[in-house]
Amino acid sequence: MSIEQLVGIALVVVSSVMLVRFAPTAIRAWRIYTGTGDRRQQDARERAPAPPTSVRDREAVLGESGYRPLGETSLQLPTGERFAWIMAAEAGDSYVILTATPGSVALSGIYSAWPDGMWLGTLHPIGTPTDRTSLQVRTVTTTLTEAVAVHQEGLERLRRVHGAPRPVRSMPEMLALDADYRIRFGGSRLRPLTFRLMLPCVLAAVVLALSLVLLIASLR
């Protein structure tokens, strides 16, 4: 057996193993991405589990910053049902989505929207910043209290240009805002993360295809 054949077989084996390893993550990411625009959060106040410690701790911090519990939601993903805990500002100008997935970072997202289509988001402690004409998203990696302050600063700045934000004082209002956000920005916001998750699988598939070509050519 020639060196070219040995190299081709080795590459086929390695790339096949990598493809099997990365394919489930890539498929899951693609399914989540393609359904974002049509997926909707549902009111889950009657069946949501008790909030875990990470959520209760953040609720306490937000309570000191002028937010109150609004309810719970559920979202059906290809990976299963996910619950979130919602809080709204006493002033009715913003709401917070608190998530708690085992093994993942406890994420918080603060949002405000305006009648003219403008959106403001502040993510804590990780997330992808965005600066578009109709969407501004900031990421605060320090404390949740600081994230609230950053959001409030942005809210006041945009209020001078866009007027009063859309009110959110009830679950129906929050769910309507969430649906609007998903329709407008859901897919584009997930696209960079989706492509990063799919890249190892795509590279493994390319290497496998080239390896098969090399192996077949060496056998002739």
- Sign of CA pseudo-dihedral 56, 187, 89, 49: negative
In the chain, what percentage of residues exceed pLDDT 70?
75
Q: What is the pLDDT of residue 219?
A: 66
Check residues 127 and 33 and name the one with the higher pLDDT.
Answer: 127
The span from the CA of 218 to the CA of 71, in Å, is 64
Annotated domain spans of the chain: 3-33+199-219, 40-185
Token match 């403008």: residue? 118
pTM over 0.85? The answer is no
Give the residue-averaged pLDDT of 207-214: 72
> What is each CA distance from 36 to 123, 151, 183, 194, 205, in whole angstroms?
18, 25, 8, 12, 26
Q: Which of 4-8, 78-82, 104-108 has the highest mean pLDDT?
A: 104-108
Taking only the tens place, the pLDDT of each residue in 85-126 is 999 999 999 999 999 876 677 899 999 999 999 999 999 998
Phi first, then psi, for residue 165 (nearest 5°) are -70, 165
Taking only the tens place, the pLDDT of each residue in 130-185 is 898 999 999 999 999 999 999 999 999 999 999 999 999 999 999 999 988 888 88
